[in-house]
């Protein structure tokens, strides 16, 4: 007989599943798990956390009954009840908590498949390869080999001939430096090497958005962060300023002092001084961040370096460089295909796609209903417009910062129409916050709070060094312990939830989703298996908003998948690109040429906060130090007086 174990990874919030033959042993070390139990071979499920014992829990059948036995130091929670050094019966749908992992157990009868379909297929929501627009995924039509770009015969080799590239008759450009992606990861690297001495005529940036924050601004707006709302970022996380001073709080206070808003200016300065113990953490307005990036982009001649491009492939060349095949998108007619040859390449493609929960993905595929069931990162303003006019019920999935933003927007909409109800659907109740050493995150009403998505010490403190120097297995355990779904500890957000619970328009429900179907009225109905009910519970709603996050799997990106497959690139413990401490893709070295990567596609490497403003700048600086060691042309160290000189140029808006 088999059981299915379902849980959520702490670092990327992706759902994982194991189907195992009984009996099953769960623990931290495979070597400590029993190989047999009563003469039967034992299946193993290994979870990395120092809060889990080497052999933590056993699940087995005895006298025809499914049992769970705790073998751990800290005990096992069964549906919230502590089991310590004892055994008890277990039912299908019960929830185990071992360390930071919340695991749903489903008993699979012989010949009956799992009711929940979980797969690793690409999300149904992608960033269009030609326009970067957010849209449902559709199968790509087969293109005849003679019309494919880059030409399959040319890019089949590990090393491509430069002469063969020129022989294609297409435009070929040669530069020293290439930034691939064109987003904030590319921007921070280009900004850094420009300040370190590289001239704009030596650099090419390939991407789809004219503004380096184009995609980020789009998903901010869709997830209810307009220009006047604040990001989950610190005052010193300044993508426009590698020195981090003056930070956003100082700049905002300076503007307010000159406009006579002394009280507000003082508040922001107090926040920076007292956060997070005595005051809410300061966060900048998104619109001001984008304005600052615009200023810096103009200062470093971003538009001069930028080329609109859909990147189709990357290969090493025979002369020790890299060739990038790309297409220039056109509104009408075929794309204009070109090649770029460069010696130093920086890869920062961002999140490959938008993740949709499997049951919602199945619903949209079955009913082709993209209006009732949406992802928070899609444009879904129609939901709030409809609720404002007619009211209704909304199911929200997710417990992170985006879910908090959605709750705030629904609350604001409810002020215009009181006939709006929210059902917050959770896999399991959050009974306690994540622990690390003696520290534990604060939890309230199933929400776990933390100022930023990682502890602040992971940016530049002792946790950064700890992660950087850890072995792969130790790094995995650290990231699992420090990660997890959290939201910002904002008083207004906490008040909204408390008010909703008190007034009964906000209802948290927990359970395993079996399926989502559409009723005769066109409403999505969620069927959940809850510990409180023997039968499936139906949750009827007008809309479902998935706020569980983005897809960070590099193999969901066609360019990265091709690169990983062609050069057999290793992946790290988080199944992302394996990079060195300076974020170099070592396997992509080609003579003296170097390739670097940054952003979420490197999560699980030497740095935790890779998908943050400050994290991208850290990656850029480490990569720049690598370029200096490689004696890359035009780049020189930035110390003392030279750094002060460059800061003065930044402050006075002069080109580097």
Examine the pLDDT at 127 and tell me if it is beyond 80.
yes
In the structure, how many helices (H) and strands (E) does the chain have? 18, 37
CA 525, distance to chain mean position in Å, is 28
Please tell me the total number of residues recorded for the chain in this structure. 656
Which residues share a beta bridge with 21? 2
- 159, two tokens: 């090393």
Hey, is 5 helix, strand or coil?
strand
Question: Is beta strand 322-328 parallel, antiparallel or unpaired with respect to 310-317?
Answer: antiparallel
Q: What is the mean pLDDT of residues 108-118?
A: 49
Contact 478, 638 (CB under 8 A): no
Examine the pLDDT at 253 and tell me if it is beyond 90.
yes
How many beta carbons lie within 10 A of that of residue 487, not counting itself?
A: 22
pTM value is 0.87
* CB-count exposure of residue 109 (10 Å: 0-12, 13-18, 19+): exposed
Examine the pLDDT at 150 and tell me if it is beyond 60.
yes
Residue predicted with more confidence, 143 or 260: 260
- 202's CB contacts (< 8 A; 6+ apart) are 175, 176, 177, 633, 634
| Upper half-sphere CA count for residue 598 (Cβ side, 13 Å) | 31
| Per-residue model confidence as pLDDT tens digits over 213-243 | 999 999 999 999 999 999 999 999 999 999 9
Vertex 425 angle, CA 419 and 431, to 5°: 120
Q: Which pLDDT score, from 0 to 100, does residue 321 have? A: 98
Q: What is the mean pLDDT of residues 639-643?
A: 94
Give the C-alpha separation, 79 to 56, whole Å: 17
Longest dimension (CA), the chain: 80
Examine the pLDDT at 412 and tell me if it is beyond 50.
yes
Q: Which pLDDT score, from 0 to 100, does residue 36 have? A: 93
Examine the pLDDT at 139 and tell me if it is beyond 60.
no
Q: Which pLDDT score, from 0 to 100, does residue 126 have? A: 81
> In which band, very low, low, confident or very high, does the pLDDT at 118 lie, cut at 50, 70 and 90?
very low
Percent of the chain with pLDDT over 70: 94
- 596's CB contacts (< 8 A; 6+ apart) are 189, 344, 345, 346, 347, 579, 582, 583, 584, 585, 619, 623, 626
Contact 31, 44 (CB under 8 A): no
Give the C-alpha separation, 248 to 233, whole Å: 10
> In which band, very low, low, confident or very high, does the pLDDT at 11 lie, cut at 50, 70 and 90?
low
Sign of torsion over alpha carbons 441, 442, 446, 447: negative
Question: Is beta strand 392-397 parallel, antiparallel or unpaired with respect to 447-449?
Answer: unpaired
Of the candidates 494, 541, 502, 500, the residue with the CA atom closest to the CA atom of residue 522: 541
Composition of the chain by helix, strand, coil, percent to 5: 30, 30, 40
The verdict on whether omega for the bond into residue 489 sits within 30 degrees of 0, i.e. cis, is no
Give the C-alpha separation, 5 to 321, whole Å: 47
Residue predicted with more confidence, 431 or 611: 611
Give the C-alpha separation, 149 to 87, whole Å: 61
Q: What is the mean pLDDT of residues 279-293?
A: 96
| Per-residue model confidence as pLDDT tens digits over 333-388 | 777 999 999 999 999 999 999 989 999 999 999 999 999 999 999 999 999 999 99
- 581, two tokens: 């401490």
Q: Which pLDDT score, from 0 to 100, does residue 399 have? A: 92
DSSP-assigned letters across all residues of 27-51: ES-GGGS-SEETTEEPEEEE---TT
Q: Which pLDDT score, from 0 to 100, does residue 116 have? A: 38
| Per-residue model confidence as pLDDT tens digits over 505-549 | 999 998 889 999 999 999 999 999 876 666 789 999 999 999 998
Of the candidates 491, 415, 409, the residue with the CA atom closest to the CA atom of residue 447: 491
- For 313, phi then psi, to 5°, come to -175, 155
- 38, two tokens: 């009563």
Query: Residue 58 is inside which H or E element, if any?
Result: strand 57-62
Residue predicted with more confidence, 272 or 125: 272
The answer for 154, left when phi > 0, alpha when psi is -120 to 50, beta otherwise, is alpha
> In which band, very low, low, confident or very high, does the pLDDT at 329 lie, cut at 50, 70 and 90?
confident
Hey, is 648 helix, strand or coil?
helix
* DSSP annotation of 90: -
Weakest mean pLDDT among 115-124, 226-235, 257-266, 324-333: 115-124
| Per-residue model confidence as pLDDT tens digits over 437-490 | 888 899 999 999 999 989 989 998 899 999 999 988 889 888 888 887 899 999
Contact 335, 327 (CB under 8 A): yes
**Domains in the chain, please, with CATH?**
2-108 (2.60.200.20), 145-232+286-352+553-651 (3.50.50.60), 234-282 (no CATH), 358-450+486-548 (3.50.50.60)
E-strand stretches of 291-350: 306-308, 310-317, 322-328, 336-347
How many beta carbons lie within 10 A of that of residue 337, not counting itself?
A: 17
CA distance to 391, 400, 478, 490, 563, per residue, from 403 (Å):
20, 5, 25, 13, 34
Q: Which pLDDT score, from 0 to 100, does residue 121 have? A: 47
Give the C-alpha separation, 622 to 91, whole Å: 51
* CB-count exposure of residue 167 (10 Å: 0-12, 13-18, 19+): exposed
Examine the pLDDT at 147 and tell me if it is beyond 70.
no
- 459's CB contacts (< 8 A; 6+ apart) are 609, 612, 614, 615, 618
Q: Which pLDDT score, from 0 to 100, does residue 79 have? A: 83
Q: Which pLDDT score, from 0 to 100, does residue 14 have? A: 67
Q: Which pLDDT score, from 0 to 100, does residue 119 have? A: 40
| Per-residue model confidence as pLDDT tens digits over 167-218 | 999 999 999 999 999 999 999 999 999 999 999 999 999 999 999 999 999 9
Percent of the chain with pLDDT over 90: 74
Give the C-alpha separation, 511 to 423, whole Å: 12
Q: Tokens 């919230």: give the residue.
A: 80
Q: What is the mean pLDDT of residues 396-423?
A: 97
């Amino acid at each position: 007989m088999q059981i299915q174990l379902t849980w959520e990874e702490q670092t990327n919030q992706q759902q994982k599943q194991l189907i195992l033959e009984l009996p099953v042993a769960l623990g931290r070390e495979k070597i400590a798990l029993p190989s047999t139990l009563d003469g039967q071979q034992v299946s193993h499920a290994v979870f990395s956390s120092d809060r889990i014992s080497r052999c933590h829990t056993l699940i087995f059948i005895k006298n025809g009954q499914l049992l769970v036995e705790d073998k751990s130091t800290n005990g096992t929670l069964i549906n919230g009840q502590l089991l310590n050094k004892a055994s008890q019966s277990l039912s299908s749908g019960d929830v185990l908590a071992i360390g930071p992992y919340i695991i749903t157990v489903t008993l699979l009868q012989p010949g009956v498949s799992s009711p929940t379909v979980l797969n690793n297929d690409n999300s149904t929501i992608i960033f269009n390869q030609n326009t970067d627009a957010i849209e449902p995924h559709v199968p790509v039509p087969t293109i005849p080999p003679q019309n494919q770009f880059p030409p399959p015969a040319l890019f089949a080799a590990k090393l491509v001939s430069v002469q063969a590239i020129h022989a294609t008759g297409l435009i070929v450009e040669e530069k020293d430096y290439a930034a691939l992606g064109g987003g904030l990861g590319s921007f921070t690297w280009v900004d850094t090497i420009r300040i370190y001495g590289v001239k704009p005529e030596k650099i090419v940036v390939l991407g789809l958005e004219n503004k380096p924050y184009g995609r980020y601004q789009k998903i901010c707006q869709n997830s209810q962060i307009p220009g006047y709302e604040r990001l989950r970022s610190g005052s010193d996380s300044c993508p426009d300023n590698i020195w981090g001073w003056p930070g956003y709080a100082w700049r905002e206070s300076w503007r307010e002092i000159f406009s006579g808003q002394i009280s507000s200016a003082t508040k922001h300065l107090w926040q920076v001084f007292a956060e997070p113990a005595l005051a809410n953490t300061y966060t900048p307005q998104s619109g001001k961040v984008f304005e600052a990036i615009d200023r810096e982009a103009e200062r470093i001649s971003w538009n001069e370096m930028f080329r609109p491009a859909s990147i189709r492939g990357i290969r090493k060349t025979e002369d020790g460089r890299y060739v990038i095949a790309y297409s220039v998108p056109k509104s009408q007619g075929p794309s204009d295909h070109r090649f770029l040859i460069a010696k130093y390449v920086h890869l920062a493609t961002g999140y490959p796609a938008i993740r949709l929960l499997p049951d919602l993905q199945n619903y949209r595929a079955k009913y082709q209903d993209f209006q009732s069931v949406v992802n928070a990162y899609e444009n879904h303003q129609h939901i709030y417009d409809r609720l404002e006019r007619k009211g209704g019920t909304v199911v929200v999935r997710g417990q992170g910062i985006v879910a908090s933003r959605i709750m705030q927007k629904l609350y604001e909409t409810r002020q215009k129409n009181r006939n709006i109800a929210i059902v917050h659907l959770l896999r399991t109740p959050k009974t306690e916050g994540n622990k690390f050493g003696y520290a534990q995150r604060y939890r309230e009403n199933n929400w776990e709070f933390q100022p930023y998505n990682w502890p602040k010490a992971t940016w530049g403190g002792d946790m950064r060094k700890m992660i950087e120097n850890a072995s792969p297995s130790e790094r995995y355990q650290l990231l699992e312990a420090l990660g997890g779904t959290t939201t910002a500890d904002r008083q207004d957000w906490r008040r909204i939830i408390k008010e909703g619970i008190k007034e009964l328009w906000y209802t948290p429900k927990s359970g395993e989703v079996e399926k989502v179907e559409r009723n005769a009225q066109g409403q999505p109905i969620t069927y959940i298996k809850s510990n409180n009910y023997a039968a499936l519970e139906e949750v009827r709603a007008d809309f479902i908003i998935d706020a569980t996050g983005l897809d960070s799997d590099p193999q969901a990106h066609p360019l990265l998948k091709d690169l990983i497959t062609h050069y057999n690139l290793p992946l790290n413990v988080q199944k992302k690109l394996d990079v060195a401490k300076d974020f170099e893709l070592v396997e992509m070295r080609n003579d003296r040429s170097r390739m670097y990567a940054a952003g979420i596609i490197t999560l699980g490497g030497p740095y935790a906060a890779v998908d943050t403003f400050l994290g991208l700048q850290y990656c850029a600086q480490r990569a720049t130090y690598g370029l200096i060691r490689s004696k890359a042309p035009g780049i020189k160290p930035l110390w003392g007086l030279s750094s002060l000189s460059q800061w003065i140029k930044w402050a006075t808006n002069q080109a580097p």
